[in-house]
Amino acid sequence: MKKLALHWKIIIGMVLGIIFGFIMNSINGGKGFVTDWIAPFGTIFINLLKLIAVPLILASLIKGISDLKDISKIKSMGLRTIGIYIGTTLVAIVIGLSIVNFIKPGEGMPQDTIEKIKEKYENDAGVTDKLTKAAAQKDAGPLQALVDIFPSNIFKAFAEASMLQVIFFALFVGICLLLIGEKSAEPLVKFFDSLNEVVMKMVDLIMLFAPYAVFALLANVIIAFDDTEILIKLLFYAFCVVGGLMLMIGFYLSLVWFYTKKSPLWFLKEISPAQLLAFSTSSSAATLPVTMERVEEHLGVDKEVSGFVLPVGATVNMDGTSLYQGIAAVFIMQVIWPEGLTFTNQLVIVATALLASIGSAAVPSAGMVMLVIVLESIGFPAELLPIGLALIFAVDRPLDMCRTVVNVTGDATVSMLVAKSLDKLHDPKPKEWDDNYDAVK
Ligand code: ASP
């Protein structure tokens, strides 16, 4: 019998998780059961993915750089990657702003709905937490983000999984391996090559657990929804974000089609397990190992490219997040600060949403923290900030899930484009977890 494809297994797990979540939501004690007995399996899965992220970045980037054999190629790959990342993010913000200005989801929201939302969420721990985190970000100096790329202790960087610091270290090691010559570099290159294979195999094994883990993750998301009435009131706004995100996916597919001449449907099918995990975990960082495995083994991007483009992308390229920030900022203004809706302010939003998406951590809800900074940059009244966040808080989790899918798809697309431009896109050679099992069982 033909084996069911991984993405179908994950989709079945997700659907069952959603149904189970709704059932548990309506049963007495059901929420507690999910929290105590189901959710931990989702956490275990995310922990396993995070566990392998640092060794994976390290091994694939060091191996990749040493395979490039040419420092000028690293420079051109770096410049292309950053250039395309900025380009796609600008497209995302412009799409977001166009939709929200055209549809105007915030206009005419009834005052009693605003009051109700305000009452329910203005002092919610989730909202105050975002404001506190945003204040901490803002207090840092202008060059702090740059300083943060350079670790003073690499073990601390590993322990904290500081992605950019790990990337910097791996690049540094990779370049020095090139500089010491092939013969001296050989033992270390072989070591990282083998480590890379081991970690990729770990991804295959962890993915066997994915259909069950997404069940747990989604059941846990569903039990958190308690006020469907408010959710329905925000549907219009949510549709704008989801519509914009879908346009973005269409944009990526056309880029893949035009530039690499690969079928968009094939691209979607091969990358879908990573997209489904991005949706279930709301974290591009947690999804990174799976994105790397799909892009390398199933899309045919060489390690030299994916090992650099994807970890950098997971940290700095968040098109879904920037599109969302543009729409959310204007929506909030339409509802509670219409006088701020000037053309200049929208231009400022373009610039700050670009920077904010670069600065957003690749974890759940980070986009909302940086949204505060986007709003502050246009002089949004401080006393209205908690109400502004309260307005969008109820639908933030589902939208976070959707924008994370776009963030991950954007990274995969750019790695295809960069690989094609450097002649590093080849026929994929997918590996299965049990390729070598017979020999060792
Ligand atoms: N959850 C998103 C990510 O990890 C970031 C965000 O938009 O909140 O990619």
Write out pLDDT tens, residues 263-309: 999 999 999 999 999 999 999 999 999 999 999 999 999 988 999 99
Residue 301's DSSP bridge partners are 425
Q: Does residue 305 contact residue 418 with C-beta atoms inside 8 Å?
A: yes
Q: Does residue 250 contact residue 58 with C-beta atoms inside 8 Å?
A: no
282 lines ligand 1 (CB under 6 A): yes
What is the model's pLDDT at position 24?
96
User: Which residue's C-alpha comes closest to atom 6 of ligand 1?
Assistant: 367
pLDDT tens, residue by residue, 101-152:
999 999 988 888 888 888 888 888 888 888 888 887 777 777 888 898 999 9
Axis-axis angle for helices 210-222, 264-281 (nearest 10): 60
Axis-axis angle for helices 71-103, 303-316 (nearest 10): 40
Query: What φ, ψ does residue 358 adopt, rounded to 5°?
Result: -65, -40
Span from the CA of 175 to the centroid of ligand 1 (angstroms):
31
Helix (H, G, I), strand (E, B) or coil at 425: strand
What is the model's pLDDT at position 34?
96
CATH numbers and ranges of domains, the chain = 6-431 (1.10.3860.10)
Number of the ligand 1 atom closest to the C-alpha atom of 318: 9
Number of the ligand 1 atom closest to the C-alpha atom of 365: 8
Q: How far is the C-alpha of 306 from the C-alpha of 361, rounded, in Å?
A: 20
Number of the ligand 1 atom closest to the C-alpha atom of 407: 9
Span from the CA of 318 to the centroid of ligand 1 (angstroms):
7
Residue 405 class from Cβ within 10 Å (0-12 exposed, 13-18 middle, 19+ buried)? Answer: buried
Q: Give percent of the chain above pLDDT 70.
A: 99
318 lines ligand 1 (CB under 6 A): yes
366 lines ligand 1 (CB under 6 A): yes
Number of the ligand 1 atom closest to the C-alpha atom of 366: 8
Q: Which residues contact 226 (CB under 8 A, 6 or more apart)?
A: none
Considering Cα of 58, then 64, then 65, then 69, what sign does the dihedral take?
positive
Matching residue, tokens 């500089």:
179
Paired tokens of 353: 């949403």
What is the model's pLDDT at position 2?
64
Apex 164 CA angle, 158 and 167, nearest 5:
75
360 lines ligand 1 (CB under 6 A): yes
363 lines ligand 1 (CB under 6 A): yes
DSSP for 322-389, written as a single string:
HHHHHHHHHHHHHHH-GGG--HHHHHHHHHHHHHHHHHS-SSTTHHHHHHHHHHHHTT--GGGHHHHH
Residue 1 pLDDT greater than 60, yes or no: no
364 lines ligand 1 (CB under 6 A): yes
Q: Does residue 357 contact residue 278 with C-beta atoms inside 8 Å?
A: no
What is the model's pLDDT at position 183?
94
Number of the ligand 1 atom closest to the C-alpha atom of 320: 7
283 lines ligand 1 (CB under 6 A): yes
Span from the CA of 399 to the centroid of ligand 1 (angstroms):
10
297 lines ligand 1 (CB under 6 A): no
Residue 80 CB coordination number (10 Å): 17
Number of the ligand 1 atom closest to the C-alpha atom of 364: 1
> Taking the model in full, what pTM does it have?
0.93
Number of the ligand 1 atom closest to the C-alpha atom of 283: 4
242 lines ligand 1 (CB under 6 A): no
Stretch 353-363: mean pLDDT, rounded?
Answer: 86
Helix (H, G, I), strand (E, B) or coil at 180: coil
Q: Which residues contact 423 (CB under 8 A, 6 or more apart)?
A: none
Average pLDDT, the chain: 92
Span from the CA of 112 to the centroid of ligand 1 (angstroms):
31
Axis-axis angle for helices 303-316, 163-179 (nearest 10): 150
Residue 262 pLDDT greater than 80, yes or no: yes
Q: How far is the C-alpha of 252 from the C-alpha of 406, rounded, in Å?
A: 9
Over the Cα atoms of the chain, what is R_g?
A: 22
